[in-house]
Amino acid sequence: MRVIRDNPGRQLLQSSIVTIGNFDGLHLGHQALIRLCKSLAGSRHSVAVVTFEPLPAAWFRPDAAPARLTSTRQKLAILSEAGVDLVWLLRFNQALASTGAEDFVQSVLVNTLSAKTIVVGEDFRYGKGRQGDIDSLRRSGEKLGFGLHAVPMIDIDGYRASSSNIRECLANGDLEQAAHLLGRPFRMSGRVITGRQLGRQLGYPTANIRLAASPSPLEGVFAIRARWSAGDWHDGVANLGTRPAVGGEGFLVEAHLFDFNGSLYGKRMEVEFVKKLRNEAHFEDIDDLVVQMREDERQARLCLAQLNTE
């Protein structure tokens, strides 16, 4: 899969089926768009995904941006696994925000990607001030020679598969429903860094992953599974947040892996969140904290043992 950043200033493809969007989470709705692209492309056309970094909402409202469901690295990995040929990470900046709908179609879809068909969700909007919609995109296609497929939203058990609904599920601790909408368990990844070693002193060594600046859609203590270097999954328990119990600062994943001995520093770890056990809490007494950690471990082991026998 080719990854293009910013504006290449040249034609990238001879003939393509294109889908456009934020694709945060790559949920079931996004997956439906990509499957349709691949079906339409066959062996004759390339499948191209146009997405944005940063996400438009984060550019317009940096202090109130919605939590990211997938990092850029995760997004690219999922798109590669889906069989996409080219991903264009289009930098969202003032110039792009000021680009009119017709100019966007001409420069991005036609001149650069040679689009034969555009595949988007039925609520797709584009161009300066979100002035472009499905009707204007269809008219552009009639004029410039590309087709259009507007795909209806997907509902799962009465829940619309959307990034905002998934964020709401995660904020409420409903990891099961979030997984239904994502089509997979919710995961985060990052590189293991050196921590304060407090967990090791208390008998609970942790692998610490500092998250990006974007706010997290989750917070609390969770039963988890974790892996690194595409290896086997390891059961564990993790605190995700600011760690008020130990006067922590900054958002961090602290993952304690059951029955594991070894160094993980510098490794890129993927953490799968299975069940929320409780919210973060502050403990005045370190002994009370250890008692709670033991209870968290007990609950996490029970939860994961049940999962492993299903």
Average pLDDT over residues 126-142: 96
- C-alpha dist (Å) from residue 162 to 92, 182, 232: 21, 9, 30
Query: Is the backbone of residue 262 left (phi > 0), alpha (psi -120 to 50) or beta?
Result: left
Q: Is this structure's pTM higher than 0.85?
A: yes
Nearest Cα to Cα of residue 4 among 85, 88, 75, 96: 88
What confidence tier does 157 reach under pLDDT thresholds 50, 70, 90?
A: confident
**Mean pLDDT, range 138-144, rounded to an integer:** 97
Predicted local distance difference test score (pLDDT) of residue 286? 85
Mean local confidence (pLDDT), 147-156: 94
Instruction: Give the strand pairing for 147-151 and 155-156.
Output: unpaired
* Whether pLDDT at 221 is above 60: yes
Query: What percentage of the chain exceeds 70 in pLDDT?
Result: 94
User: According to the model, what pLDDT value does residue 243 have?
Assistant: 60
**pLDDT tops 80 at residue 66:** yes
Distance CA 71, CA 137 (A): 29
Mean pLDDT of the chain: 91
Instruction: List b or e across 163-175, with b for residues whose CB sees 16 or more CB atoms inside 10 angstroms.
Output: bebbbebbeebbb
Written as one letter, the residue type at 284 is E
Task: Tell me which DSSP letter residue 67 carries.
Answer: P
Q: Report the percent of the chain where pLDDT is more than 90.
A: 75
**In angstroms, how far is the first alpha carbon of the chain from the final one?**
35
pLDDT tens readout for residues 96-112: 999 999 999 999 999 99
pLDDT of residue 80 exceeding 80: yes
Task: Indicate whether 1 pLDDT > 70.
Answer: yes
| Count of all residues that appear for the chain in the document | 310
Judge whether 24 and 68 are in contact, CB under 8 Å.
yes
pLDDT in tens, 173-209: 999 999 999 999 999 999 998 876 665 666 688 899 9
The pLDDT assigned to 251 comes to 77
Encode pLDDT of 19-63 as tens digits: 999 999 999 999 999 999 999 999 999 999 999 999 999 999 988
